[in-house]
Amino acid sequence: MHDVDLVIIGAGPSGLYGAYYAGFRGMSVAVIDSLPEPGGQISALYPEKEIFDVAGFPAVKGQRLIDELVAQAAQADPLFLLGESALDLWHGEDSVEVVTDAGTRVRAKALLLTGGIGTFTPRELPVGDGYLGRGLRYFVRRLDEVAGHDVVVVGGGDSAVDWALALEPLARSVTLVHRRPAFRAHERSVATLRASSVRVLTPYEVAEISGEPHVGEVVVERVKEGDRVALPAQTVVAALGFIADLGPIRQWGLELRKRHVLVDRSMRTSLPRVFAAGDISDYDGKVRLISVGFGEAAAAVNNLAPLVNPAFDTVPGHSSDAA
């Protein structure tokens, strides 16, 4: 059993910033995350990708951002419970208690949910059976792992376009394959892609992967017309999105909108002493950006502060005024 003022579920950007900010407000903090290291989706899926919409950074690689957030959160001396999933939530008169799948119990005056999209698994490439780990991957942890390769990136969203652009300077060749003529990625990224040396094949889809023991060739087929193109490839990056699941949190009695937790203007959920911030939260006009999540985490901490200690005001003052 651990007793703290605030327990945070989710060690992504919003959760890490929430841990720092709770410490700034004088609270003790525990942070729970099912992944073995802090950083959430960023560390797990795109640590080497450049992020462009975080205030103060014209561009910052995902892992560097996480490293800086961890260092900032360290000022609060949080208790990290990593590699543990929150299973059950219990309500007391003046506290909440979270039980993890490892049997750890954390009692706190308030709970902040910053679990992003929950647990996530990649959408599989239909013709990729048997090649996972043998040239097929769903994300690239280290860009230099595929330096000098012929790379085929599959998908039309931000992740696919970002991977293609990030790999262009390192790979021998990069081909982006998307089954629709239009991309879902940000317009600026698509414009940069069109101006790059990346070969773009639309509307095509992957029809066949071959090679032993590793990927050696990818055959793509034009949608409807059926004509085929064979591409040399040692790496296939299938950036087809992820299937998200809130897991046990869905059974806690929270008011949900699809897979998101509804909150009011104070980031308060439908359950007493439970708040939410970042991608997991939802309200009319919600914008899912890392920068927005930071503000939501600070708002949540300030609004839950009087629950932790009645002497705490919701108006925090400025960090520059602190000794």
* Structural domains in the chain, sorted by start: 2-120+242-321 (3.50.50.60), 124-238 (3.50.50.60)
49-105 per-position pLDDT tens digit: 788 889 999 999 888 999 999 999 999 999 999 989 999 999 888 999 999 999 999
Size of the chain in residues = 323
* pLDDT of 81: 97
For residue 322, is pLDDT > 90?
no
Instruction: Express each pLDDT in 34-53 by its tens digit.
Output: 888 899 888 877 777 788 88
Of all residues in the chain, what percent carry a pLDDT higher than 70?
Answer: 98
Which residues sit in the known binding site? Answer: 14, 33, 41, 46, 86, 120, 279, 320
| Annotation: binding site for FAD | 14, 33, 41, 46, 86, 120, 279, 320
CA-based max dimension of the chain: 71
Checking if the pLDDT of 177 tops 60, the result is yes
pLDDT tens, residue by residue, 131-158: 999 999 987 877 888 999 999 999 999 8
Q: How confident is the model at residue 268 (pLDDT cuts 50, 70, 90)?
A: very high
Half-sphere exposure of 35 (CA within 13 A, CB side): 19
**CB proximity list for 15: less than 8 A, separation 6 or greater:** 8, 9, 31, 33, 40, 112, 114, 115, 278, 297
The percent of residues above 90 in pLDDT, for the chain, comes to 74
Q: Which three-class secondary structure state does DSSP give residue 148?
A: coil
Asked whether the beta carbons of 219 and 229 are under 8 A apart, the reply is yes
Mean pLDDT of the chain: 92
119 pLDDT higher than 80: no
Please report which confidence band the pLDDT of residue 20 belongs to, taking 50, 70 and 90 as the band edges.
Answer: very high
Kindly report the backbone phi and psi dihedral angles of residue 48, in degrees, each rounded to the nearest multiple of 5, phi listed first. -95, -5
